[in-house]
Amino acid sequence: KMFAFVVLATLFSFVQGSIPTYKEEWFTQQVDHFNHHLGLTWKQRYLVWDGAWDGEGPIFFYTGNEGDIESFWSNTGFVFEIAPEFNALVIFAEHRYYGKSWPFGTAEESLTKENVGYLSVEQALADYAYLITSLKTQYNIPDAPVAAFGGSYGGMLSGWFRMKYPNVVTAALAASAPIRMGTGGVNFVAQPRYFETVTNDFIKYNPQCPVIARQAFNQLAQLASQGQAGLDKITKIFSLCKPLTADRVEHLRLWIENSYGNLAMMNYPYPTDFLAPLPAWPIKLACEMLVQAPDALSGLAASAGLFYNGTTGALQCFDIETEFVFCADQTGCGTGPAGQAWDYQACTEIIYFPNTDNKTDMFPARSWTIDGLNQHCEQTWGVKPDPEWLGIYTGGSNLAGASNIIFSNGLLDPWHGGGFLHSYSDTVVAVIIEDGAHHLDLRGSDPQDPPSVTAARKQEVALLKKWLSASK
């Protein structure tokens, strides 16, 4: 039987643009919602803010994704800004196998090959459905409408949550959700591609930046071909903590690509510390580093280091082995237990191939194929990826059964080519943010916001009001 939490009556004041203090609660979930013989349970963490709730308003539910839920709480100010307008109760649920929500007690025990198999989209959505159902009983609001919010993988989850559990979720805002890319199978090619958008972001500031970057990658390859003397020069130019060896040159290239991809995702108009402490418009600064450096390779080294060293500049050298960990997701999985968990998800259900071709993008041509993915996943987890299942389970690009979903995408975001960029109907609406990076619309309002995100948020509020009020 599910364990309902105890609500503590706490008053919060909320200042526009600020992030309120949360209450941390725990909910007992089944380890496996689809096997009634297992019978194991675990504690899922979720965060609560009732400072705007009037006892009758809707539930705003954030579908936690691949990380600690506190980080998403701190970087999703839009939800708190509009909650008073709706008199909403705000819940942020942590995804199983992330943060503090480990089904087998610890990250180490949960991420064993024997126990990691309960990490899936299906199990996570069932967790959220059970949690909301219990919350409605606990608060005595059985008919309260629910709006799901999420960004990136969390946006994919919020969209799927509405599709798979329309009896639980009334409406969803799926921000920067690359559903088409994540469910498209081995032959899907995003338009534009992930690294094509990264390159276009640089072009936006200076068309010479991709030219210099290509020169730098050529210089990198030339030095690497010169034996130890060339590798030593690369080590010095990139300020590497350990001498570069010939077999790690490819890893260095991926370290650079990972940095540029993250800078593009975090290309916000003001300083942030979401994935790293970064300045306003970090792609602009990286581009300036490329142009102003004494030579192309030095510029590549300085600009690539921006993501890992941030605005603090505290690192004296770069450890490319710990700062970037090779994984099934070629855009990067992150580090630590969360990176391991995402690697498993990218080895089983959420499968895509963001390759480079040095034509539409500025990076050395590289093809990551299903064969390479199979090899990595079998060696790491003992599993074989299934590129087709998630599309079958969720519908993939087919939105025929969907309703009351907003798919928002920023055109600066490398993931937007894998999302829904056109409205399907009056109740499946695409919102395009011309000057927006990765789910900028979910962040709190800021004086530096471009007009396109201000307009997007206004449209999103209007749609949510329409759909939530219609359900009463």
Which positions are catalytic? 152, 413, 438
Give the Cα separation of 66 and 302 in Å (integer): 29
Return the DSSP state at 98.
B
Say which residue the tokens 């276009």 belong to: 200
Backbone angles phi, psi at 406, to 5 degrees: -105, 125
Can you state the percent helix, strand and coil of the chain, rounding each to 5? Answer: 45, 15, 45
Q: Which two tokens stand for residue 290?
A: 């490329």
C-alpha distances (whole Å) from 340 to each of 72, 190, 258, 306, 346 are 19, 25, 16, 24, 10
Q: CA 60 from chain center: how many Å?
A: 19
Q: Which of 114, 189, 120 is nearest to 386 (CA)?
A: 120
Alpha helices per DSSP H over 246-319: 249-265, 282-292, 296-309
- Rounded to 5°, the CA angle 75-430-73 comes to 15
- Rounded to 5°, the CA angle 381-387-391 comes to 130
257-260 long-range Cβ contacts below 8 angstroms, 24+ apart: 257/195, 257/356, 257/363, 258/307, 258/324, 258/331, 258/332, 259/303, 259/304, 259/305, 259/306, 259/307, 259/308, 260/198, 260/286, 260/303, 260/304, 260/307
Sequence length of the chain is 472
> What strand order describes the sheet that includes 41-49?
23-30, 41-49, 89-93, 59-63, 146-151, 171-175, 405-410, 428-433
Q: How many CA atoms lie within 13 A of 319 on its CB side?
A: 6
Give the Cα separation of 47 and 279 in Å (integer): 29
C-alpha distances (whole Å) from 325 to each of 46, 321, 330, 340 are 29, 6, 10, 9
Q: Please check whether residue 418 is in contact with residue 352, taking contact to mean a CB–CB distance below 8 angstroms.
A: yes
Give the Cα separation of 264 and 284 in Å (integer): 10
Backbone angles phi, psi at 6, to 5 degrees: -100, 125
Alpha helices per DSSP H over 266-410: 282-292, 296-309, 320-323, 336-348, 370-380, 389-394
